[in-house]
A and B are shown apart, each in its own frame.
Chain A
Amino acid sequence: MPEGDLQNPVVGPRVVADNQYPQLRAERTAALVVGHAHGEMYEEVSRGNVWTISTAAAGIAIATSVGIPATAANNPIVGIYNPPGSVNMHVTRTILVATTGTAVTGGFAWYLSANPTGITSSGVQARNNKTFVKGGHYGIAFDGSTPVTGQTVAPTLFRQFGGGFPGALAAGTNSTLEETEEDIVLGPNNYLGLYAVLGATGLNVVGSLTWAEVPTGG
């Protein structure tokens, strides 16, 4: 590179034509001013490292061992288990929609199992966010259709997800809950699932979970 470029940022904006070699831009508290080439998730997705799991459109009827945490085999609404290894699983988007029924006290919550022993489930295949083809991921994903088997301790409540005021949900009410905070990274040998906190009669939900797989280098 010619002189006066990367090594000597200068405070304030300028107008620079394509193919020029500008001094980089700093701001008035000495931070480097940067611009995004694309949206935040483009690089991760275009490299084929992001997958999504979704429940069937008919939804998950919340009942004992389905959508409610338990020690014995139980189905999360959506969930993911990261087997021991060297991959982090970065949860980037989760959505839940109640379609019929009654809102329960406590709503919905993330439940986790840290270093669980004995999980034997193979889960179901998720779809890649670029190719839309099933499979190719390291995580063991759950879409409500199959249980997490072999765990010896019930998952514990990690964080509230959201919910409705307890009682019958009126027809036509927007019942969408979503989390896009990107602040959960599931390390090796950890389990995370989305559940209703309490059982409910006639409560039916659908949902999706999207995650990126990132090598830990360890």
Chain B
Amino acid sequence: MDIQNPIVGPRSISDGSEPQLRAGRTAELIVQPAHGELYEETARGNIWTISTAAAGINATTVVAAGVSAARCIVGLYNPTSDTNLFVTRTVIVQVSGSAVTGGYVWGSVASPTAITSTGQLGVNNRTMTSGGHRAYAFNGSTIVTGITTTVLFRYIGGFIAGTIAAGQNATLEEVEDDLVVGPGCFLGVFVAVAGTNTTATGSLSWAEIPA
């Protein structure tokens, strides 16, 4: 009368009881998440967020994917051999200027060997204090020195090329949870091609998990 003998269909059971678990009509075990998907990871203090300054980052050539010494809008370098960095959410908002062909992209480097930047401090998503992470996080305030040429990995979103009118929705976001920055890898958010008078703000959240 327990986990070994689930029974099909719902019942109404009081707290403190020990029910036979519930099965579905195709013989599956019926489950219910206790909390949101990322609660456990966050409550354990394993998630951080890095954000650009509110003024944003000018999308000149230093933030275009495919160049060396790149300044990403937000990004992560994993210098460890024993930790995976799991990207949980990215938000990009273009706050002023012109949209460029190709929009915003993830740019990656598989095995950068000469990154010397240590980046900026992210803020922990539970304690709201800065630091404590192993990743080198970047928020566009400094160049990722020593990086080799990034490659266009995946699109995040974009606009019809040209000036963004006042009041238009200019928010792009990605919440797919399907990017892991493995040991020794770099991943950052860039504009696909250089822009003129294009300003972007952004945030990136990630979890650190033993590899």
A: which residues have CB within 8 A of B?
6-13, 23-42, 44-46, 50, 52, 54-59, 92-93, 95, 97-100, 127, 129-133, 169-176, 178, 180, 204, 206-208, 210
Contact = CB atoms under 8 A, between A and B. Distances in A.
Contacts of B34: 13, 25, 33-35
Where chain B touches its partner, the secondary structure class is loop
A172 B102 contact: no
A42 B3 contact: no
B165 interface: yes
A3 B40 CA distance: 25
A57 B192 contact: yes
A57 B21 contact: no
Nearest to A53: B154
A59 B16 contact: no
B2 A7 contact: yes
Given A28-B12, A31-B32, A100-B101, A39 B86 contact: yes
A93 B109 CA distance: 21
Interface size of B as a range: 35 or more
Given A35-B35, A99-B160, A172 B110 contact: no
B201 to A, nearest CB: 16
Interface of B: 2-4, 7, 10-22, 29-35, 37-41, 65-66, 84, 86, 88, 98-99, 101-103, 105, 108-111, 151-165, 168-172, 176-182, 185, 187, 192-193, 207, 209, 211
